[in-house]
Amino acid sequence: MSKQREKAERGTVKKVLHLLRPYRVLVALSILCSAVIVALTLYVPVLIGRTIDLIIGPGQVDMPGILRLLLRIGWIVAVTATVQWVVNTINNRITYQVVRDVRDTAFRHLQVLPLRYIDAHPVGGVVSRIIADVDQFADGLLMGFTQLFTGAVTILGTLVFMISIRPSIAAVVVLLTPLSFVVARFIATHTYSYFKLQSETRGEQTAFIDEMLGGQKVVKAFGQEKECIERFDEINSRLAKCSLKAIFYSSLTNPCTRFVNNVVYAGVALSGALLCVATAGAAVPFTVGSLSALLSYANQYTKPFNEISGVVTELQNALACASRVFKLIAEPAQIPDDEDARILKTAEGTVELQDVAFSYTQDRKLIEDLNLQVHPGQRVAIVGPTGCGKTTLINLLMRFYDVDRGSISVEGTDIRHITRRSLRANYGMVLQETWLKAGTVRENLIMGKPDATDDEITAAAKAAHAHGFIKRLPQGYDTVIGEDGGSLSQGQKQLLCIARIMLCLPPMLILDEATSSIDTRTEIRIQQAFDAMMAGRTTFVVAHRLSTIREADVILVMRDGHIVEMGNHEELLKKDGFYAKLYNSQFAA
């Protein structure tokens, strides 16, 4: 195992131990109960040995003594079973509370991760870390608690009992013990890398399935079913190969450790039998009962090595999965709000961009030296070819991304010195890509205004021309819609998103192709509602259909991240520049 891998493993183990810190009382109780179980279990062979000596020893059989010993064994077994149930309950409680904490931490961290990370990583891969990897981690952790503590105490306890019975035979057991460590070391060396590769490939497969389910219509429309199956088969084959290798090395545990166990058992049996014969006439002979107890201890001594080796391989898998989850949690969060950041209450709508520069990757420049002054109540349209930076500008205004250079100010304050929550609360945003959560229509509409009354909700839906189709749904506003709108059409989903903004009516609006999925007749009506909604509000409108933004106060024409033209519709047409070419191309015969 490389030093780098060992260091990574130690780091993961430290993080796991840190997660266990809040439950240290339960962990201590689990260890204590495990010690009680081991002590009682190890006491039983002594009683069995005494019982055997009473049966086959010199003189007549002592039945009352045998019954007393058997009764004592029965009580010990009953108490051991009860304590074992308590241990299992404690271990399950620790494991699943830790799993809850890990998932909670991971999900909370997702909320503060910069969008740059979310955009750069497949959604399915992130989901796999929080769901599948945490489940694998839980299985390994539970097995560790259930068997690791008990196994370690059993090894120590059996050694003590064997030494108390016959130190020379105990020495034989100790001399053969290193074989188990060699086996465990060999298996652990090979399993971690394969379990880690298995976890990563499983995440890749989950991401691919998520991608294909989300784009199934496109896949079918372009006849890509065969290519998708081939791609899935390739990932699935890699997953099968690394899984088989991981299972192969981990499956070596049982036969190898059992072989070592048998060697130890044979060593104890042979040396014990010889000792019985050698001391047959001695004053204190080595009895058959003592040999029986020693053989039982030898079996119990070696059994934990088998279990611990199995735990080690399972822990290798758990640690590999845990490291992926911890890696997600360790990703740098977005820059937190300043302690003295301004809480923007009700903005008037003054927005200023000064020498703004931004790019998603350092080697590909996008927006450079962008300057813009927007006054309260102005309607600003942003137009330009695909990839010119229109949506990127919206992302910067909402502070989904921070500028690389320059500044964006709202009400005279750099937005980096305004709390994100209050900044975004002053914007109403309707995007071309709709997003609706699983829940009722009402719950989706009131996201921006949770205390809205039924009359306000209905008025907003009517203004967005969504009231009609909502009333035709089975339960009206209380109809439960599935993830991302369920069976609603794209146009209906977009109408709900528009109604959501009309309900809360923030002082500034961002409309990014807000009517792109709506029929022309409804679009004309909604445009009238938008006109009423935009009155007195600073509005940024991103549009490809230039006919929808002719009434804008200012039209920004963007090209390659720069504003190449600025003015109203008439002024830009008179210039006969890039805007005029874009506009005329849409109405060319």
pLDDT at 216 over 80: no
Average pLDDT, the chain: 79
Question: What would the pLDDT profile of 455-490 be if each residue is shown by its tens digit?
Answer: 999 998 888 888 888 899 888 899 888 776 677 877
Output the pLDDT for position 189: 64
pLDDT, average across residues 343-355: 88
The fraction of the chain above a pLDDT of 90, given in percent, is: 4
Output the pLDDT for position 407: 92
Neighbours of 144 (CB within 10 A): 20
**Region of residue 580 (left: phi > 0; alpha: psi -120 to 50; beta: else):** alpha
Burial class, 297, CB count within 10 angstroms (exposed 0-12 / middle 13-18 / buried 19+): buried
* Cα R_g (the chain), whole angstroms: 36
Question: What would the pLDDT profile of 108-166 be if each residue is shown by its tens digit?
Answer: 888 888 888 887 777 777 888 888 888 878 777 766 666 776 777 777 777 777 777 77
Question: What would the pLDDT profile of 174-208 be if each residue is shown by its tens digit?
Answer: 776 666 666 666 666 667 677 778 878 887 888 78
Give CA separation, 315 vs 184, 199, 221, 311, in Å. Answer: 12, 13, 45, 6
Question: What would the pLDDT profile of 252-278 be if each residue is shown by its tens digit?
Answer: 766 776 777 677 777 777 776 777 766
**Region of residue 561 (left: phi > 0; alpha: psi -120 to 50; beta: else):** left
Output the pLDDT for position 589: 40
pLDDT, average across residues 494-502: 84
pLDDT band at 409; cut points 50, 70, 90: very high
Neighbours of 140 (CB within 10 A): 24
pLDDT at 300 over 50: yes
β-pairing, 379-383 vs 367-374, is: unpaired
pLDDT band at 1; cut points 50, 70, 90: very low
Whether residue 286 contacts residue 272, with contact meaning beta carbons closer than 8 Å, is answered with yes
Domains in the chain, CATH or no CATH each: 11-330 (1.20.1560.10), 351-586 (3.40.50.300)
E-only strand ranges, 344-434: 351-358, 367-374, 379-383, 405-410, 413-414, 427-430
Q: What is the pTM of this model?
A: 0.67
Output the pLDDT for position 82: 92
Question: What would the pLDDT profile of 48-96 be if each residue is shown by its tens digit?
Answer: 777 777 776 555 567 777 788 888 888 988 998 999 899 888 888 888 8
Output the pLDDT for position 447: 85
